[in-house]
Amino acid sequence: MIQIYIDADACPVKEETYKVAARYQIKTYVVANQYQKVPLDSLVEMKVVSNDFDATDDWIVSQVTNRDIVITTDILLAERCVNKQARVISPKGTEFTEDNIGSAVSNRELMQNLRYTGDVRGGPAAMDKKARSQFLGKLDQVIQSLKKK
């Protein structure tokens, strides 16, 4: 059975995920270290974890299987989930795979170092309609792929 795990602290596509999950009747876990409002739906469950460092990531990794989808902007969480054969999608519609996760981790470290030295300021571009559309398309594609397994 397919399940979706949302790394919810800074996820801008929770509402879109709820709608897609409802259409496919997929259980969705919203995981964060503090309560967040979720739809009153038996298929959506809010999981509040401790404030410990990486508690959200650790809980998701402990639950996820190769039949599941994780939605996150956290590259290190994505890497851990890809290593467990889960399907991982960023809110902008990029799927992290065994083929691209290594370069994503390297790029994350490079950008972190550049921000630390002051050579780069700011973070990623804000979400727009195109990114949301790409996310929805990728989520639908991944669900269809998992349903065929």
Q: Block means of pLDDT (10 residues each) for the chain, length 149 residues?
A: 94 97 98 96 97 95 98 94 97 92 68 67 77 96 95
DSSP 86-131: -EEE-TTSPEE-TTTHHHHHHHHHHHHHHHHHTSS-S-SPPP-HHH
Predicted confidence at residue 127, as pLDDT, reads: 85
The pLDDT value recorded for residue 109 is 66
Can you give the pLDDT at residue 27? 98
The residue to which tokens 């902007």 are assigned: 73
**Confidence at residue 66, expressed as pLDDT on a 0 to 100 scale:** 97
**Residue ranges of domains in the chain:** 3-148
pTM of the model: 0.88
CATH of 3-148, one of 3.30.2420, 1.10.20, 3.40.50, 3.30.70: 3.40.50
